[in-house]
Amino acid sequence: MIRLPHAVFRNTWFIALLAWGAATATVTAREPQAPRLLVYCSAAQEQCIDVLSLNPETGALTKLSRLKTPGEPAALAVSADSRFLFASMRSTGQLCSFRIDPASGALQTLSVVEAGEDPAQITLDKSGDWLMTAYYVAAKVTVHRISRDGTLSPNPAFETTTREKAHAIVPDAVNRHVYVPHTGPNLIFQFEFHPDSGKLSPLQPPQLMRPTNTGPRHLAWHPSQPIAYINNEQGSSVTAYHQQPGGQLLPGQTVATLPPDAPAENSTAEIQVHPGGRFLYVANRGHDSLALVRLDSTGGELQLAGNIPTQSVPRSFDLDPDGRWLLAAGEATGGLEVFRVHPEDGQLTSVSVTPIGPKLWWVLCVTPPALP
């Protein structure tokens, strides 16, 4: 047996210790990973956007940070890679873009542009090159270019007058057509979209007229079928629209979002389709509930399957990308309620309520951007 000098043992042990320490340091440096899910909330009265994390296993919310905004933040949208967040300021008529920190989810303001009176809703096109905005008071829509660094063009690349109370602007799945529901005049504007220039050109017919006191408000697409679902604000209902080859929407079935014995005082707000395509949800303000609407295998047959009580005046809600959790924002209470989604039937179980702030106008749940 060969005996090594003690110095060799000491050096070998020291080298091993250094290697272990380096490995431990590497692991430690990588430990503060970004939360699995980030949640952004528009606290309008306090003029802030709150940043939270959502535990994808338990549904627990944790407050992370808060950013002061130049006006009352309302609609939120995120880029496909989750690097940039966009917000409309309804009180000041501005559009803002922010960088999302991949480690913490915190926001850094990138650009603030003057846009128009009361920008109610914003959406990115499928290429991520354009931010589309519908204006409730200015009665128009605009399209701003998004630079690679997340900044917005100071002036819109395209702008056109529509009608008052434009409440949403949503492209289709293939980025060829755009639709703008208007609650007041009961109209849905229909456009062809040109992603090379950001321009919109009217379809024929350019508008789809709906019955009086219907109030088409927000639009959500079926995940695999060319069917758009639009909730009717005054009508307390949801309508399925079948997209035709030329892009026009053809109305299909309409179902109520309230049980027969519900009080008449109600208006719908948000609509979301579950990623599985088997059911959708609509927020009822007045009844203060989320309507669960079942969809058949074609997506064209709708059935009201129940109403789940939620926070008072549920103006906004969102599903996490996997459809496991639903987060409902109570405008009147300022509380953000987390529900567990039962995948077999779409029923919801309340898990918690987190106070955010007065006039809780919007909630958006996103996957964090990749760490560099």
Domains of the chain with CATH codes: 69-203 (2.130.10.10)
Q: What would the pLDDT profile of 251-264 be if each residue is shown by its tens digit?
A: 999 999 999 999 87
Question: What mean pLDDT comes out for the span 135-149?
Answer: 98
Q: What is the DSSP letter of 333?
A: T
**pLDDT, greater one: 77 or 2:** 77
pTM value surpassing 0.75: yes
Place of tokens 């006191």: 213
Which of 28-42, 110-124, 281-295, 309-323 has the weakest average pLDDT?
28-42
User: Using 50, 70 and 90 to split pLDDT, how confident is the model at 36?
Assistant: confident
Rounded percentage of the chain residues whose pLDDT exceeds 70: 91
Q: What would the pLDDT profile of 304-347 be if each residue is shown by its tens digit?
A: 999 999 999 999 999 999 999 999 999 999 999 999 999 999 99
E strands within 82-186? 84-89, 94-100, 107-114, 119-124, 130-135, 140-145, 158-161, 170-171, 177-182
User: Using 50, 70 and 90 to split pLDDT, how confident is the model at 35?
Assistant: low
What SS3 state is found at 176?
Answer: coil
CB 341 within 8 A of CB 322: no
pLDDT the model gives residue 263: 81
Backbone angles phi, psi at 83, to 5 degrees: -80, -25
Per-residue tokens: 65? 């940070």
Q: State how far the Cα of 121 lies from the Cα of 78, in Å rounded to an integer.
A: 13
Residue 6 has pLDDT above 50, yes or no: no
3-state secondary structure 177-236: EEEEEECCCCEEEEEEEECCCCEEEEEEEEEEECCCCCCEEEEEECCCCCEEEEEECCCC
pLDDT the model gives residue 283: 98
pLDDT the model gives residue 372: 82
CA dihedral 349, 352, 355, 361 (to 10 degrees): -20
Closest CA relative to residue 75, chosen from 366, 309, 361, 367: 361
- Indicate the average pLDDT of the chain: 91
Residue 30 has pLDDT above 60, yes or no: no
